[in-house]
Amino acid sequence: MENMPFRPGLDVGRTGDLGIAGPHIVTSDWRTGLPVIEGASVTLRELRVDDAPSLLSMLTTEEVARFMSPPPTDVQGFERFIAWTHAERAAGRHVCFGIVPEGYDEAVGLFQVRQLEPAFATAEWGVAVGSAFWGGDLHRESATLVAEFAFETLGVHRLEARAAVMNGRANGALQKIGAVQEGVLRRSFLKDGQYYDQILWSLLREDWCQKRPGSKPSIH
């Protein structure tokens, strides 16, 4: 689940126009700006340029970056990444929520959902969050809110995740929210010149609707 958050090639070039929207967006079309989704102890919102320093601090540590594509290496790289997420959202191919715990202003992690088929019939999601926020309910609550958005707003039918076999934390988290293990993708993830096996997990919309955990989130 942590091997998708970044796309190659974003750590080079100029920053350009970031097109950053404000944090509270009221819209019926997520392509013009993501809504703010409030849970009991976490808020999910579109990434802003001022999240870049926090993301650099949280997501470039060895323990966090171990099982994901290499993150940007400086603040400017994260600014370019944030601009890319806005452009991909506007194109209707990808959404990226910043994870903001209660009491914080900046994002300490992110959740991405990208289409694997047109109109998000099948999509893949990935997450990265600072290690200081591991071990509590932040991941579970954030994942629940993102899955709800994917199924109810994006119209996803099948939501997939991939996690390295040796990444017990990510695989355990997927199991806890009801994902189904479908198989092992042999040598499917390249990291630092070495290939790793990954477990393929899935959530289906009909299963989610029947077993939806918790109450409805507040969406602005």
What are the beta bridge partners of residue 129?
Answer: 109
Give per-residue pLDDT as tens, 171-215: 999 999 999 999 999 999 998 899 999 999 999 999 999 887 555
Region 74-97: mean pLDDT is: 97
Q: What is the pLDDT of residue 215?
A: 52
User: For residue 78, what pLDDT is reported?
Assistant: 98
Strand partners, 94: 114
**12/31: higher pLDDT:** 31
Provide DSSP, 150-218.
Answer: IIIII--SEEEEEEETT-HHHHHHHHHTT-EEEEEEEEEEEETTEEEEEEEEEEEHHHHHHH--SPPPE
Domains and CATH numbers, the chain: 30-219 (3.40.630.30)
Phi-psi bin for 64: left (phi > 0), alpha (psi -120 to 50), beta?
alpha
Q: What is the pLDDT of residues 101-124, one digit of tens each?
A: 999 999 999 999 999 999 999 999
pLDDT at res. 32: 96
Mean pLDDT across the chain = 87
The secondary element (H helix, E strand) that includes residue 62 is helix 62-65
What pTM was estimated for this model as a whole? 0.86
Question: What are the residues whose beta carbons fall under 8 Å from the beta carbon of 219, sequence distance 6 or more?
Answer: 35, 36, 37, 38
